[in-house]
Amino acid sequence: MRRTLWILGIAALAAVLAIGIAQSGGGGDEQPRAQTTSARLDLAALKGAPAPLAALHEDANVIRPADVEAYEEQLERLRGYPVVVNAWAAWCGPCKLEFPFFREVATKHGKEIAFLGLNVSDNRGDAERFLRKEPVPYPSLEDGDARIVQKAGAAGGLPATIFYDAEGERTFIHQGGYTSEQDLLEDIRRYTGA
């Protein structure tokens, strides 16, 4: 009886390990996740965007040093277009979950809506590694001391999404992560007028 339990325990452990390896993608012929994700970053779909938006696409997936003044200057350059600012960090689990929604929506609507990231209180190396795995077609401003996100009124934790209308007025702050692309699109329509 004891030997049977021992054998069953080893078999259960082996099954758990096999399932874990299969779910993590280890040991298969599949491409690594970073490669398949990068392939979905289709900057060609954004060709022909107006100059202020095209300037964002040229800095796709880059983290730029910034302060409150640089953030406000960036918003001023985008006046005339609705703006969606996603505040995120590589250490933030819900931020990671919503990133694919921002990538897809920004790729589909980046010719008429400005998208901008705000990397908050993060380790620069970790943030850059995360962006290599989950690229987006817009830049992020580095907010190492969280002053930008505080000034923008979104100091309630990450992730946060800040919406501005075409006149540059902040219209809404969504605290927490998005759970679907559709929810993000609905808020964009509702709070930016796009």
Model confidence over 144-176: pLDDT tens digits? Answer: 999 999 999 998 899 999 999 999 999 999 999
What local confidence, expressed as pLDDT, does residue 18 receive? 40
What local confidence, expressed as pLDDT, does residue 56 receive? 96
| DSSP secondary structure of the chain | -HHHHHHHHHHHHHHHHHHHHHHHTTTSSSPPHHHHHHHT--GGGGTT--HHHHHHHHTTT-EEE--HHHHHHHHHHTTTS-EEEEEE-TT-HHHHHHHHHHHHHHHHHTTTSEEEEEEES--HHHHHHHHHHS--SS-EEEETTSHHHHHTT--S-SSEEEEE-TTS-EEEEEES--S-HHHHHHHHHHHH--
Per-residue pLDDT tens over the stretch 103-123: 999 999 999 999 999 999 999
What is the domain count for the chain? 2
- Model's pTM, two decimal places? 0.79
**Domain annotation covers residue 157:** yes
Shared-domain flag, residues 93 and 118? yes
What local confidence, expressed as pLDDT, does residue 60 receive? 95
For residue 163, the cross-strand partners are 84, 172
User: For residue 11, what are the domain limits?
Assistant: 2-30
Shared-domain flag, residues 155 and 133? yes
**Domain annotation covers residue 38:** no
Tokens in use for 164? 């501005």
Shared-domain flag, residues 65 and 154? yes
